[in-house]
Each structure stands twice: as structure tokens, then as C-alpha cells.
Structure 1
Amino acid sequence: MTKTIAVIGATGAQGGGMVRAILADPSGEFGVRAVARNPQSAKAQELAAAGAEVVQADLDDEESLRKAFDGVYGAFVVTNYFAQRDEADVAARSAADMELEQAGNAARAARDAGVEHVIWSTLADTRPHFGDTDRVPTLDDGRYKVPHFDAKSEADELFRQSGVPTTFLQTTLFYENLTSDLGPVRDENEQLVLTLPMDDAPLNAIAVGDIGKTALGIFRRGDEYVGRTIAIGGDKLTGAQLVAVMSDVLGEPVTYAPHGWDDFRSFGFPGAVEFGNMFQYYAENHEQFSNDRDLALVRELNPELQTFREWFATHHAELAR
């Protein structure tokens, strides 16, 4: 009998990758229920045309989630800290509070619907690394160092408290960021320069599509990873190694000239301080962050796991240059 997996955020990056991984699985072991806030959207309709069952639910509406989870075997749950919100919602709660509320709704709904296995897409908590020092700014009313990391980690406990069987899938930076907002740009001499603020530390990153494929590998293992945290990545490269790959694939030199963390925090765009803190965490904590990620296990769960070179070779045209 086919086991159905409900996918929250099915029209987004991670959720969409999860839906596509299930639809592409030749074993037919799993079916997919794509959960979307607007089932009539173009992206939702594309999933329906590809073979997904599309249903409506909203992470802010626990009852709608319970209905969406009714009768499914598993659920892939992801929340979007950076979701577009109206002014009233922004005034009423922080993005971190939104995520905590939504995660709690999903955890309770999955429990009440009798879901046998939830995979919760989460992130590491940066606060143990930074401690109580003020060497990086504290944000969100003094609660977090990197709110979009720390709040997701805090939400882990909501799944534990609910009692729903859960695997905690701890993700990392996407390769896709390296061809978009964090990718190399041309300087005054028209030379491509990567300014990623990682100093000389290696960065763990992954293709967003590989998150869903890895999650599917976890679902295939039944309850083997229930109650466990699986930290994932696809490749680990320093800035110098990243630009070496980029230069080779693009056929032109790309230089690595990293911003300092304080410089990055001072740029003034929304999220500059938070992302400066994030990169400082990535760089300073790179040994522990890497040790937490067993890439051999990730490749066992997802034999199609892409290295950065493999991914960039087929996606370099997405680089704005």
C-alpha cells in the first residue's frame, strides 16, 4: 500500500523539492499530498499536473493542518521565517514568534491526525557558541543571536512535547544562494569577486533539491531516525575553493575577497546584522558544524547528492553577471 506524505510549503524551495523527490521516486512506495495556502496558485497547479494531490491548509490555522494531515503516513514540515507578511501581522508578532507558533500548530496537528513520522526542517542553535558575550549583537528583544536559526532550533522542543514521532533535519546554506544574493559580483574593473564573509573557514552548503531527496531517504528507513537529529550538507569548501570551482566552470577568473563580519553588519540592508552574525557563527564554529554533518550518511540516504562543482556546472547560468 502506498504511504502518503503530506508536504508543508509545497510551493516553496524545500517543500517543492520534497514533492518532486517523491514524484520522481520509481519505487512508488510513497504518494504525496502537497499542502499549499493557495491551491489555485500557478505553482500548486503545476504540482497537481505532475501528479501530486494538492490540498489547502495554512500554518497559522491548526485545524486546517489537522485536516491536511488526516490519513497520511508522514509529513515534511518547514516554516518560512522570511515569508512576506502584511503590516498587521508584522506589528503583532516577530518572525521568530510566527515560526514558533506555526511549528507548534504543525506538531499538534500531526499528533492529533496520527501521523506516524514527521520530518521537521530545522537549523542549529547559534547561542551555545556565542554564549552570553556581546561580541555579536543580540536581536529580537534580547532573545537570539541569529533569529532564523535559533527560533527554528527552539521549535524542536515543540515537536518533542507534542509526542509526534519526529526526525530533526538540520539544514544549512543553499548552493542557490551562491548564484543569487550571495554570489560573486563585478567590481569597478568588471572582475567577478566573491565577498562571502567566511574569512578562510570552510562553508558547508547543499543544493535545496537535495534536502527533499535526503528526507525521502529518511522516510524510506521507517522509524530508524525517529527522535534523532540528522545534520546535512552536500559539500564543504573554503572561499578560495569556491572561486576555484567558479573560475573553472565560468572560464574566467573569480576572486575571493571576503567582507569582515562587522563590515557586513554595517551595510544597513534588512537582515544585515542577522546575516553577519550567521556567517560569523559558520566561520568560528566550522569544525563543530562540519563534525555534526556525516556526508557519507547523507550520500547513503541520497545517492544523488551533488557536490558544489556538479551543481554549479548545471546552474552557473543563473548567476547574475
Structure 2
Amino acid sequence: MATKQVISVVGATGSQGGGLVRAILDDPDGPFRVRALTRSAQSASARELAAAGAEVVEADLEDGRSLLAAFEGAHGAFVVTNYWAPQSAEDEARRTRADRELAQIETAARAAKQAGVEHVVWSTLEDTRDHFGSDDRVPTVDQRYKVPHFDAKAEGDEVFRQHGVPTTFLRTTLFFENFTGTLAPRRGDDGALALTFPMADQRLSSIAVADIGKTARHLFARGEQFVGETVSIAGDHLTGDQYAAALSAALGESVVYRPVSWDDFRAQGFPGAVEMGNMFQYYAENSAHFVGDRELSRVRELNPELQSFGDWLALHRNDFHID
């Protein structure tokens, strides 16, 4: 039997990395074995991965030596960074979240190059400034960005290119899972369940997080065909009314879509409200282009198991906790 190739997975206990770990473990006859990177091999989630057959190693995007060791001998590496990860007060005082993310991308790219990784799949996003330019209607965040958790990742693309790392740039989108959390239907004063996000009547792309990992596994399997390529993915493209209708059917109770303006959303004052308002404005104003780059038939050709929003809802009805 041929020796299986090692895929090192950053963020193995998180959403995207965890999806790839499970996709590899669920394919025991496939060409890969998984090396799950985590900051703590003793965490409950890391121990679960080890019990399921993953090689679990400790590594941190803030520690280049640990990352280099975790990439050594690997054929491929999946790299994902988290702009929203908690930040200490000391770290926050010396650098923005975007600067932290860019430093982590630099560390990952350098380690992949030094380790001789043959194929990196980098989870990235578009640069919203290509659309907004210097538009004064859209506040600047983190000194030079419009949507930092998009724009810094887009800047990170060039880091992999500069280091000469053979990379597939996997552009993701909003997770279906957000509809059980930050975008969950809320009951209003009138007793009705409502979705209240600022998309006007435009289509919003989204995807099941597990399908990001499954698509990444297929990209590794296709190898050189996708090195240097940008692959943009989604599982569905729906308007607010269509999301509400799908949720109504799944929850057995009417859900209505009540769009708000971008300015009203930004004015809500919760941490990240301005950035998230900017993000929705980008999604809405750039919907035709963003959706067009994520042609579902092409995504499904890569990942035949791709779930629609309705498919996902049928499996996750019990994840909703509506008062």
C-alpha cells in the first residue's frame, strides 16, 4: 500500500480546519492522513481528534518554530487565520487585529516555504477596497481597511506569492452556521420571528462550514491543477426573503425578513458593528460579481456533496434555540 501523504491543518479544532480534518478522517481509503495543529493537544476537542485517528501536534501561528515543525514532512497544509480571535489588552495596545492577522500569515507562509510544503490551500477572501475605493460613505476600520477581516486576508494572498509558496487561494463566504448565532431569527415586540440584516433585496452567498473542508480535501487531491488558482465557493445564493422562507419551513413558524439600512446597522454600537455593516454593504452592492464568482455548478464539480441552505437546515433544525 502506498504511503499516505500528510496534510497539516491549521485551526484543526476550529470550524474550517475541523471540517477538513473530518473530511480526511471520513475517507480512510483516501490518499491522505491528517496532522491536526492545535495550541493545546490536551484540550477535549484535540483529544477527540486523536481518538478518531488524527496525528495531533501543538503549533501556534504566533510561533514560527512550532509551525515549521508541524509542516515538516507534510505534502500539503491548510492555512486559516481568525481575525476575530480574542486579543489580550497588551497585544491590542501594540497592534490592530488586522496587523496581527498579517503577521500570522507571514509566519505561516515562511514556515510552509522552509518546510518545502508542496501545496498550501489558504482560506482567504476578497479585498473590499477594490469595490469601495475611498468611498466616504463607508467608514475606515483598523486605519486603512473597509472590512478588515476580508481585506487583510486579501493582502495575505500576496505574502504567499512573495515567498514562492505553491498555493490555492480558497475564497469562502458567510457560514450557514451564522443563522443559528449572530444572524438567528429574533422575536420582535409583535411576537414575530424576523431576520434583520442589511442586504436590501440582493442575494447573499453562504456555505456550510463543513463544505469548506470537503472542498479543500478535493483541492489537495487534484494537486497541481489548482496551484496558483483562486477558487471561490458558496453553497447557496439567496435573498433575505428566501432565507426567511427556508427558515420558516424548517422551524415550522413564519420568519419574515426586515432589512435595515447599512448606517442603522453600523450605529448599533456592538463590537464590530461598523465592520459588519461595511461587510453587508459590500455583499449587497457587489452582489452580482460576488455571486457570479461562486457558480454553484463549478463548486459542486469540486465537491459533489455540496449542501444547499435547505439541505443544511434539514440536518441542523435542532441547532436553533428560539425563545
Once the two structures are superposed, the pairs formed by residues 97-136 of structure 1 within 5 Å of their partners are 97-136=99-138
Question: Which residue does the alignment assign to 1:223?
Answer: 224
Q: 2:235 & 2:195 partners in 1: Cα distance?
A: 20
Q: 1:91 & 1:43 partners in 2: Cα distance?
A: 31
Structure 1: gaps (5+ residues): none
1:45 partnered with 2:41: no
Q: 2:138 & 2:320 partners in 1: Cα distance?
A: 31
Percent pairwise identity: 62
Structure 1 residue 189: Cα displacement: 2.2
Question: Which residue does the alignment assign to 1:196?
Answer: 197
Residues 179 and 316, structure 1, Cα contact 8 Å, conserved in 2: no
Question: Which residue does the alignment assign to 1:187?
Answer: 188
Structure 1 residue 90: Cα displacement: 1.3
Structure 1 residue 133: Cα displacement: 1.8
Q: 1:320 & 1:94 partners in 2: Cα distance?
A: 34
Question: Which residue does the alignment assign to 1:87?
Answer: 89
Question: Which residue does the alignment assign to 2:245?
Answer: 244
| AA of the residue aligned to 1:99 | E
Question: Which residue does the alignment assign to 1:20?
Answer: 22
| AA of the residue aligned to 2:253 | E
Q: 1:146 & 1:218 partners in 2: Cα distance?
A: 27
Residues 6 and 35, structure 1, Cα contact 8 Å, conserved in 2: yes
Structure 1 residue 26: Cα displacement: 4.1
SS at match of 2:226: coil
Equivalent residue in structure 2 for 1:29, among 31, 54, 58: 31
Equivalent residue in structure 2 for 1:65, among 64, 67, 70: 67
1:209 partnered with 2:210: yes
Residues 78 and 120, structure 1, Cα contact 8 Å, conserved in 2: yes
Structure 2: gaps (5+ residues): none
Q: 1:186 & 1:21 partners in 2: Cα distance?
A: 36
| AA of the residue aligned to 1:134 | D
Q: What RMSD, in angstroms, separates the aligned Cα atoms of the two structures?
A: 0.8
Superposed CA deviations along residues 137-160 of structure 1, whole A, max 9, x for unmatched, are: 01112x100000000000100000
Q: 2:163 & 2:273 partners in 1: Cα distance?
A: 35
Superposed CA deviations along residues 26-45 of structure 1, whole A, max 9, x for unmatched, are: 43210000000111111111
Residues 180 and 318, structure 1, Cα contact 8 Å, conserved in 2: no
Structure 1 residue 197: Cα displacement: 1.2
Superposed CA deviations along residues 205-241 of structure 1, whole A, max 9, x for unmatched, are: 0000100000011111011000011000000000111
Question: Which residue does the alignment assign to 2:282?
Answer: 281
Q: Please say which of residues 277-286 and 250-259 is displaced more in the overlay.
A: 250-259
Q: 1:105 & 1:154 partners in 2: Cα distance?
A: 14
Aligned residues: 320
Question: Which residue does the alignment assign to 1:310?
Answer: 311
Question: Which residue does the alignment assign to 1:76?
Answer: 78
Structure 1 stretches of 4+ moved >2 Å: none
